[in-house]
Structure 1
Amino acid sequence: MKLSLNSVLVCITLVILVSCQNDNHYPDHPHDSSFYIDYRSLKGLPDGIAVIELDPEAPNFGNISSKLELGVGVLPHHIYYNQNANKMFTTALGGSYLYEVKTGQDQNGQPILLNAIPVDTGENTVGENLFFTNDGRYFMTFMGGAGGPKDGSIGVFNAANNKLIKTIKAPIQTNPNKFIMYPHGISINEEKGLMMVSSTIHPDLTTGMGNTCTLLDLNTYEIKETYQVADSPTDLSAPVEVLLLRGKFPQYALATTMLGGDIWIAPYNAITKKYDAFTKIFDGSTKGLGWALEMYIDDTNKLYVSFAEPGKVLVFDINNLPQLKLLKTLDADKGAHHMAFFKTKSGKEVVAVQNNLLDLPNLNSGTISIIDINTEKKLGTVDLRNKYGILPESIEGTNGPSNYMHH
């Protein structure tokens, strides 16, 4: 999502100079509490990516040790690893919309950022989410599509060379019952050969809003169904993230609604080989919550959902779906958004919550909260707004994905 698309600097600025460059992210080196963050500048300077220490027990807690500038107005948005976690990417709302990020290590084995290589996305604009499959493809949602008022697309890329294979488009003007519009969230169940994307909001945040999720065949790219994820056809709930539970988890689709502030669920139907209709499983307004955003699952069947307003992370038990049992509520800051999970030096299990959504008023704290998952106590806060003049946009581990399941 983006308020305006600014021009990007032609050259990617390398802030930290080192002697080596490769695709590896050094999983054997001791930097479990160092994280990559996408950030936007509040001072008119280039946006970029940084390495930051997030263990409150570390003497350099909150310090940035490496930065890579991408350009003014690039607005990097989500960081992802490929299937083997040996390549890292960031999507962006501006600039080239997708970059492969090269990293290295300093003389102490700590992660540093080297450079970023723009990936050609063709006509597709306003990059959002990625999903890597086991067969050598990756999929990317483009909320802006080719730039029309009711646009949006899905890019299919070759994971070996980052070449765009196909652009999937399905305009609502052509078929109002099966369409892709303003896609943001994406999730894939490879075993079932299914992909689902959400319909969120036009990149300018005013031209249009969505209230659906669309299911596609993963191999033919045919649209199988478009589902209403809202109380009524006129309820513009803006579904933002979708998660097709797979593997050992119960076979359901979950969706969060940004403007609805709710969690929705749809069961998989083995006969139709699709999902049945979505129903609301959690009403955020009953708990004083709004702007439901990201979903993460750990390996003990706990679901973590961020609510940007007033800035909470709710932890649910999903062992008995479609019943969703609330276990605990963690206090973050306004704009609670992406999460990363790790252990502190003393072994405390914590979640780092990035608190900012598009620099929107009252949703842009610009902090990262470190919360003890077991005691629910906030152990520390990094105030990036006041310390560095930047806002965090997303967060990811420097040893690979810092979560068990996200999309």
Structure 2
Amino acid sequence: MKLKFNLISLIILITFSNCQNDNHNSDLPHDSSFYIDYRSLKGLSDGIAVIELDPEAPNFGHISSKLELGIGVLPHHLYYNQNANKLFTTALGGSYLYQIKTEKDKNGQPKLVNATPIDTGENTVGENLFFTNDGRYFMTFMGGAGGPKDGSIGVFNADNNQLIKTIKAPVQTNPNQFIMYPHGISVNEEKGIMMVTSTIHPDLTTGMGNTCTLLDLNTYELKETYLVADSQTDMSSPVEVLLLRGKFPQYALATTMLGGDIWIAPYNATTKKYDAFSKIFDGSTQGLGWALEMYIDDNSKLYVSFADPGKVLVFDISNLPQLKLLKTLTADKGAHHMVFFKTKKGKEVVAVQNNLLDIPNLNSGTISVIEIQTGKTLGTVDLRTKYGILPESIEGTNGPSNYMHH
């Protein structure tokens, strides 16, 4: 029976797609255990941990496995590859990108084993990944080669993690089409396009962006750079972008970190680009700022985190460009990444990681577990107090714990 169960589990596992595609986690053993990237607040190594997040579990909030990556590595975003059989983390320091080896213990509980650094060439400050179906993956480097207005996109071979190409397009060369401080990335493979955001210089002071840039997925040529701000002088810092695809209305969505807003652009089948971006949700009218992550479930609901004051807003996107607000969930200051799962009693919940780069007033250091239907907080893990660490990102241990992210 155990062999049969493991075989079934393996078959289920390899059907997962990465967090960018239209799949989500299933009910597997220990599917309330999650990986978190974390930074140490005690001058010790940063790393990755396995934590139990079901408030109904007796070991809620317990860290069962840790993997240290090094002091100052600052692991930043966790991702699965296309088949969910490889786990990666990007990092703001250290080697900027790592492949993580994991195992299961005798109880089937996930265990972190080691991390293998991946050569990113001259590219620094690793941000987001996107895996495509043709054996490539793309990575945004907010620091590029280190210049004051730098930034790049790395193209990697998904089989051997070799860097194939570095895409650069300096604003100094062409102020109308450029890549600068790229953070968010999204791909529509069917249309052969990719978009990245222009967010902020890694030191958070040298410069800020207010655009998104569309590229050809195969030639890597820039197609257009879009203003995603109220004016040329409004440094809104678009942080994440999502190219809706498949069954969803064909729009691009972007969140602005310093603007605190959600923007939208319709796809134009004639030009094979997007038309201009317009603001679809003004966070300031709701007392919200620092719009960050976007997740979509298979019922056309959009979840957006607002780090200030720490909320997750749930929207209906079935009638875009109309965006209907359905409910507001209360997390903590710094509300950022999310994972979705069911508790042992079958409650549908979202766990929200509350910390953004340890920025004052945006760094609660907690994970809030919220029942989606009622909005009730079922439990909170205070990682700052309990472990002396801050969570940086969060991902499932049985594959992607969301339906569509980037």
Could you tell me the TM-score, scaled by structure 2's length? 0.94
1:26 deviation in Å?
Answer: 8.8
Give secondary structure in 2 for the equivalent of 1:386. helix
Which amino acid letter does the alignment assign opposite residue 233 of structure 1?
Q
* Equivalence for 2:101: 102
Q: What is the aligned-residue RMSD (CA, Å)? A: 1.0
Instruction: Give 1:57's aligned residue.
Output: 56
Which residue in 2 is equivalent to 1:245?
244
**In 2, Cα distance between equivalents of 1:46 and 1:371:** 30
The aligned residue for residue 9 of structure 1 is: none
Gaps of 5+ in 1: 1-23
Q: 1:56-90 CA distances to partner (integer Å, 9 max, x unpaired)?
A: 00000000000000000000000000010000000
User: 1:288 aligns to what?
Assistant: 287
Alpha-carbon distance in structure 2 between the residues aligned to 1:123 and 1:279:
35
Q: Which residue of 2 aligns with 1:346?
A: 345
| Residue identity opposite 1:327 in structure 2 | L
How far does residue 301 in structure 1 lie from its aligned partner after superposition? 0.3
Conserved 8 A contact 1:188-1:244: yes
Q: Distance in 2 between the 1:257 and 1:30 partners?
A: 37
| Alignment correspondent of 1:187 | 186
* 1:156-199 Cα distance to aligned partner (Å, 9 max, x none): 00000000000000000000000000000000000000000000
Q: Give yes or no for the alignment of 1:163 onto 2:162.
A: yes
Give the partner amino acid of 2:50: V
Alignment-derived partner of residue 263 in structure 1: 262
| Alignment match, 2:272 | 273
The aligned counterpart of 2:364 is 365
Q: In the aligned structure 2, how far is the partner of 1:309 from the partner of 1:252?
A: 26
**Displacement of 1:107:** 1.2
- Extract unaligned runs of 5+ from structure 2: 1-9, 14-26
**Shift of residue 390, structure 1, vs aligned partner:** 0.1
For residues 392 and 42 of structure 1, what CA distance do their matches in structure 2 show?
Answer: 11
**Aligned equivalents of 1:171, 1:108: Cα separation in 2:** 51
Distance 1:175 1:333 in 2: 41
Structure-2 residue corresponding to 1:69: 68
Contact preservation (8 Å) 1:25, 1:111: no
The aligned runs of 1:124-203 (5 Å cut-off) are 124-203=123-202
Aligned length: 384
Q: 1:25 to 1:129 in 2, by over 3 A?
A: farther
1:5-52 C-alpha deviation (Å, 9 max, x unpaired): xxxxxxxxxxxxxxxxxxx89949511100000000000000000000
**Amino acid across the alignment from 2:152:** S
SS in 1 for 2:385: helix
Matching of residue 35 in structure 1 with residue 22 in structure 2: no
Aligned to 1:82: 81
Deviation, structure 1 residue 221: 0.3
Letter in 2 for 1:108: N
Alignment correspondent of 1:325 = 324
CA distance in 2, matches of 1:379, 1:25: 32
2-structure distance, mates of 1:39, 1:325: 34
Q: Give the equivalent residue in structure 1 for 2:110.
A: 111
Q: Residue 16 of structure 1 corresponds to which residue in structure 2?
A: none
TM-score (norm 1): 0.94
Displaced runs of 4 or more, over 6 A:
none
- SS across alignment from 1:147: coil
Give 1:4's aligned residue.
Answer: none
Query: Which structure ranks higher in relative contact order (CA pairs < 8 Å, sequence separation ≥ 6)?
Result: 2
